[in-house]
Amino acid sequence: MSKITVYTTQPCAHCATAKAILQARGVSYAEVNLSKDPVGRAELAQRTGLMTFPQIVVGEQTLGGLNELRAADADGSLQQLLAA
């Protein structure tokens, strides 16, 4: 199973929802809270091209944020990503 990393900030309702979706599916993940890490935020934005939170990375592939997670969960591609 591919490793999932969820990059979050606080407060962030979208971050909480994304984590709840993963937990409901029994998916383990590592959370990296960048609330007080401007350098980490800049590095993440440069790596993924995204400035919003949450940012979800599966293995080395950026899935996206909450909307992308919901879509991947709904169409079954989340399970395919995890199995890769």
> DSSP letters along 11-56, please?
S-HHHHHHHHHHHHTT---EEEE-TT-HHHHHHHHHHHS--SS-EE
CB within 8 Å of 58: residues ≥ 6 apart:
2, 3, 4, 81, 82, 84
pLDDT tens per residue, range 53-84 = 999 999 888 999 999 999 999 998 888 887 76
pLDDT tens per residue, range 9-58 = 999 999 999 999 999 989 999 999 999 999 999 999 999 988 899 999 99
CATH code (residue 56): 3.40.30.10
Cα–Cα nearest to 7, from 31, 27, 23: 31
pLDDT of residue 1: 67
pLDDT of residue 34: 96
> Domain range spanning residue 77?
4-83
The Cα 39–Cα 30 span in angstroms is 19
Report the predicted TM-score, pTM, of the whole model to 2 decimal places. 0.91
Split into its structural domains, the chain has a count of 1
- Token reading at 40: 């980490």
